[in-house]
Structure 1
Amino acid sequence: MTPTTTMDLVILAGGRGRRMGTLRPKVLLPLAGVSSLEWVLRTSDAFASARRIAILGYSAEDITPVLRDRRVEVMTLEPVLGPVHALTALDLSDAPDHTVVVLPADVPLLRRETLAALLAHRTTSTAALTMVSAVSERPYGLMRVLRSEAGEVIGLVGEKDASRQQRSIRECTSGVFACAAPVLRAALASFAWDTVERERTLVELVAALRRAGHDVDAISATVPHEIRGINSQTELAEASAIMRQTKCEELMSAGVTIIDPATTYVGPDVEVGHDTVLHPNVYLEGRTRVGSACEIHAGTRLVDATLEDHVVILNYCVVTDSTVRSRAQLGPFAHIRPGSDVGEDARVGNYVELKKTTLGKASKASHLTYLGDATVGEDVNVGAGVITCNYDGVNKHRTVIGDGAFVGSDSQLVAPVTIGRGAFVAAGSSITRDVPDEGLGIARSRQENKDGWARKRRQ
């Protein structure tokens, strides 16, 4: 064969995955923060010069939106009678220097380095097809690679068809391969698809190539678990654990302290600065960015959150799509809902909820408080039990609290309302009108004591 000069990366995402026990296509099930399909797309993203094609079948209408804006051509085939049959959707070139690289979307652990090694090997290999194999400690369910005494690949055998001796083989593959386009085209034409009794796999394709006199070879995966496929919920969970461990190792090598990596869940797109400490059962998801020298305690969940440097988050807090500025402290049990901004040196304490609220520098809301649709200035003290009444049943309204204001405990601020700079709100007040700068707002009934009332009632 002449050196490869053109290439198609073909992503197979047409299978249903009945063994997963779900109606959703298995390639869209979550795996360490993103779908299995997304992992494969990210692996192939590094090869910008290649034409990428996704072949869909089951639930194509659910998968197609995921591929938008990803520079991927979409082809649909229904029904899909196995991964080899899916390739019949391609209009294969007859150019001898054209290679088709097949990436099953349910083999998400394949690394870019291994894919690059496969492509590099194809530029010099004289074999018609090159697969990615690995020596697996637990080969159950994988195709075994059969070799001659001279070490040449002579075929594959699936788990169900393997003899006891063949099942003892540890070199396996799961369907990642590269093949010369004209050879693949001829092999596909040799199958009688109208009489197929079961799915066609790489086992049958390799057998067809060998019958036609073609050589087949293999390269070894960089890491053995790369060839693992996802065919059950158990395998999905195991692959997720591998991905999470890999991410934790990446962070720890960059100076992040993770107390217990086994219980720390960090998504693939999360960034964490050096000298930050992550305690057990911390969940960092989405596009979360954590600065340097932060400390995040157990049970905390951050989703699309941004934390600047030296932030402390105590136990069991939730922060979603919000920003926490330097040296701020949250929790325990604080809930920061989308659109909020917690200022430098600010404090948000026990059972405090913020929603679309800006809390200024060095301001405090320490206990049992709800601040929704509010703008709170600097050095403001918000007492326990304060709520902003931001919803009138139809519309949301804003509350503005000026710098240096003091809002007494158990007060209700009925929006729209403004508390002026340096103003006070007396505890237990229901404020419905603006309080001027340096003023006092008080709105409660006058207390009246009745001497002896309790003694008379007991009698």
Structure 2
Amino acid sequence: MKRALSVVVLAAGMGTRMRSALPKVLHRLSGLPMLMYVLQTVKALGPDRVVVVVGKMTETQIKEALKGVDVNFALQPEPLGTAHALLSAKKALWGFKGDILVLNGDTPLITEQTLKGFIRRHRRAGNMLSVLSFNAEDPYGYGRIIREKGNRAVMIKEEKDLSAEEREIKEVNSGVYLMKKELLPLVAKIRINPKKGEYYLTDILELATKRSLKAEVYNIGVEEEFHGINTKEDLKRAETLLRERLIRYWTERDVTFMDYSTTYIHPTVKIGPGTFVYPNTYLEGNTVIGSNCTIYPNVRISNSTIGNHVEIKDSSVLEGVKVKDHAVIGPFARLRPGTLIKEGARIGNFVEVKASEIGKGSKAQHLSYIGDAQVGSHVNIGAGTITCNYDGKKKHRTVIEDGVFVGSDTQLVAPVRVGKGAFVGAGSTITKDVPAESLALSRPKQVNIKGWVKRKKRG
């Protein structure tokens, strides 16, 4: 029978070294609060409950950030240390029987694989308590794992309490604990640290070993996963580590990045094989990019779905749009939310499209604004065309049916419909519907005044 698991995420601290009014765990990495990475990772473990411990200073902001996320909250009324924070979750764990995984909300790089391996070892050994450790290249500031002869771990010692010999120890505490719920009464016996005035969960290992409870420290962590984030500089380093991890993941799946260091990709993005990504590219939110696409430099794609064999040229911005197969976007194009670009369509330089559908094989290549429009297939939108969709109070739709040719410098004043196969002459202002297969012209008659320049000069 599967043993029950609850997870307690400690997120009560403000993180004063961040020098920010934002709680530390809500600072963003690749578009997501670092706390969200921890929650996504532990969700993959299939826990019965997830409890997030918040403080008085962080409660409102964290609850707002996690609105809609399936977690329970526990309030730590005073900042009295990690053991006190865990005990603050007792009410949220009422009626639960099983193992409790405890970890910090500021460890966004920890992986599902590491936690699963840790849980597996704990359960195979039948431990009352397990601690996850790792070897640090520079262990300064970390609690060290103190082992007796025979390699038995007996305590975690903080930096300030270490002897000169103990300072050379590389094995350090990760801040990840796994314990049977029956151990919580022992957590309540942890004494206050007289220097700091806090109750440290690190003391639980020594208490457990002194009572001959089965406790073990597993040195299976990878240092990168426990990169400490206490300052903005630490956050910057974590961003780099996460970006490298994401790019490595997609590179192994036949995606090519010309320059890793200038490609910014959110963990929620998905990319198909054979796609090539140029430098200075931002791929954000719930974006899905198909196979064999080319994303040129200085492109930003957010919450969009891109088909296969699509080209998105330099300096284009796509937000909340759908682009079908074999379309070409840009350079310098902007596609705004609610836009659908169908198969083989082309949106060219300095063209903005908002809340519109562009049909198969249609083209708007130069200097145009298309807003709240329904454009059919194989339509040509000439340079400088504007759909005048706003009357000062309401937005109105423009409908351009299949096979229409719209000449350059045309204004289509919505609501208006241009029928199938119609032509609109360059420089026209169209205020009425155009019948199918018709030619619409709306511009002043040209007047040439002979000799005007000479007369003007004589003045």
Range into which the TM-score falls when normalised by the shorter chain = over 0.9
2:74 is the alignment partner of 1:75: yes
2:366 is the alignment partner of 1:367: yes
2:174 is the alignment partner of 1:174: yes
Asked if 2 retains the 8 angstrom alpha-carbon contact of 1:15 and 1:82, the reply is no
1:143–1:196 CA distance, 2 compared to 1 (3 A)? closer
Q: 322-331 or 6-15, which moves further after superposition?
A: 6-15
Q: What does residue 316 of structure 1 align with?
A: 315
Q: Quick one: distance in 2 between partners of 1:164 and 1:436? A: 91
Question: Aligned to 1:189, what secondary structure does the other structure show?
Answer: coil
Shift of 1:294: 0.6
Q: In structure 2, which of residues 27, 32, 39 is the aligned counterpart of residue 34 of structure 1?
A: 32
Q: What does residue 256 of structure 2 align with?
A: 257
Question: 1:300-449, aligned counterparts within 5 Å?
Answer: 300-449=299-448
Question: 1:5-154, aligned counterparts within 5 Å?
Answer: 5-57=3-55, 58-91=57-90, 98-125=98-125, 128-154=128-154
Amino acid at match of 2:29: L
Q: Quick one: distance in 1 between partners of 2:312 and 2:376? A: 22
Q: What does residue 189 of structure 1 align with?
A: 189
Q: Quick one: distance in 2 between partners of 1:176 and 1:103? A: 5
Question: Aligned to 2:125, what secondary structure does the other structure show?
Answer: coil
Amino acid at match of 1:335: R
1:402–1:96 CA distance, 2 compared to 1 (3 A)? closer
Per-residue deviation, residues 289-312 of structure 1 (Å, max 9, x unmatched): 111111001111111111111000
Asked if 1 retains the 8 angstrom alpha-carbon contact of 2:76 and 2:84, the reply is no
Question: Aligned to 1:139, what secondary structure does the other structure show?
Answer: coil
Shift of 1:221: 3.2
1:395–1:140 CA distance, 2 compared to 1 (3 A)? farther
1:94–1:27 CA distance, 2 compared to 1 (3 A)? closer
Q: 29-38 or 314-323, which moves further after superposition?
A: 29-38
Q: Quick one: distance in 1 between partners of 2:202 and 2:2? A: 24
1:440–1:400 CA distance, 2 compared to 1 (3 A)? same
Shift of 1:67: 3.9
Per-residue deviation, residues 24-79 of structure 1 (Å, max 9, x unmatched): 11111111232211111111112224322221113212222444544322211222
Question: 1:158-307, aligned counterparts within 5 Å?
Answer: 158-162=158-162, 165-192=165-192, 197-210=196-209, 212=211, 214=213, 216-307=215-306
Amino acid at match of 1:46: A
Question: Aligned to 2:188, what secondary structure does the other structure show?
Answer: helix
Asked if 1 retains the 8 angstrom alpha-carbon contact of 2:136 and 2:171, the reply is yes
Asked if 1 retains the 8 angstrom alpha-carbon contact of 2:87 and 2:184, the reply is no
What number of residue pairs does the alignment pair up? 456
Shift of 1:222: 4.8
Q: Quick one: distance in 2 between partners of 1:101 and 1:152? A: 22
Q: Quick one: distance in 2 between partners of 1:366 and 1:79? A: 61
Amino acid at match of 2:418: I
Amino acid at match of 1:17: G
Per-residue deviation, residues 77-127 of structure 1 (Å, max 9, x unmatched): 222322221012133889998432102111111111111122112224365
Shift of 1:250: 1.3
Q: Quick one: distance in 2 between partners of 1:320 and 1:94? A: 45
Per-residue deviation, residues 119-168 of structure 1 (Å, max 9, x unmatched): 11222436543211111223343322222343222322334554554443
Question: Aligned to 1:177, what secondary structure does the other structure show?
Answer: strand
Amino acid at match of 1:372: G
Shift of 1:235: 1.5
Per-residue deviation, residues 419-454 of structure 1 (Å, max 9, x unmatched): 111112121111111111111222222221222222
1:22–1:348 CA distance, 2 compared to 1 (3 A)? same
> Which consecutive unaligned segments of at least 5 residues does structure 2 have?
none
Q: Quick one: distance in 1 between partners of 2:21 and 2:95? A: 40
Asked if 1 retains the 8 angstrom alpha-carbon contact of 2:271 and 2:290, the reply is yes
Q: Quick one: distance in 1 between partners of 2:403 and 2:301? A: 30
Q: Quick one: distance in 2 between partners of 1:359 and 1:260? A: 32
Asked if 2 retains the 8 angstrom alpha-carbon contact of 1:143 and 1:158, the reply is yes
> Which consecutive unaligned segments of at least 5 residues does structure 1 have?
none
Asked if 1 retains the 8 angstrom alpha-carbon contact of 2:139 and 2:172, the reply is yes
Moved >6 Å (runs of 4+): 92-97
Q: Quick one: distance in 1 between partners of 2:42 and 2:97? A: 20
Q: 82-91 or 315-324, which moves further after superposition?
A: 82-91
Question: Aligned to 1:458, what secondary structure does the other structure show?
Answer: helix
Q: Percent identity?
A: 38
Asked if 1 retains the 8 angstrom alpha-carbon contact of 2:135 and 2:222, the reply is no
Asked if 2 retains the 8 angstrom alpha-carbon contact of 1:36 and 1:108, the reply is yes
Q: 251-260 or 144-153, which moves further after superposition?
A: 144-153
Asked if 2 retains the 8 angstrom alpha-carbon contact of 1:155 and 1:207, the reply is yes
Q: Quick one: distance in 2 between partners of 1:447 and 1:412? A: 19
1:127–1:49 CA distance, 2 compared to 1 (3 A)? closer
Amino acid at match of 1:455: K
Q: Quick one: distance in 2 between partners of 1:367 and 1:164? A: 71
Amino acid at match of 2:101: V
Q: 317-326 or 425-434, which moves further after superposition?
A: 425-434
Q: TM-score, normalised by structure 2?
A: 0.92
Q: Quick one: distance in 2 between partners of 1:431 and 1:167? A: 81
Amino acid at match of 2:455: K
Q: TM-score, normalised by structure 1?
A: 0.92
1:189–1:417 CA distance, 2 compared to 1 (3 A)? same
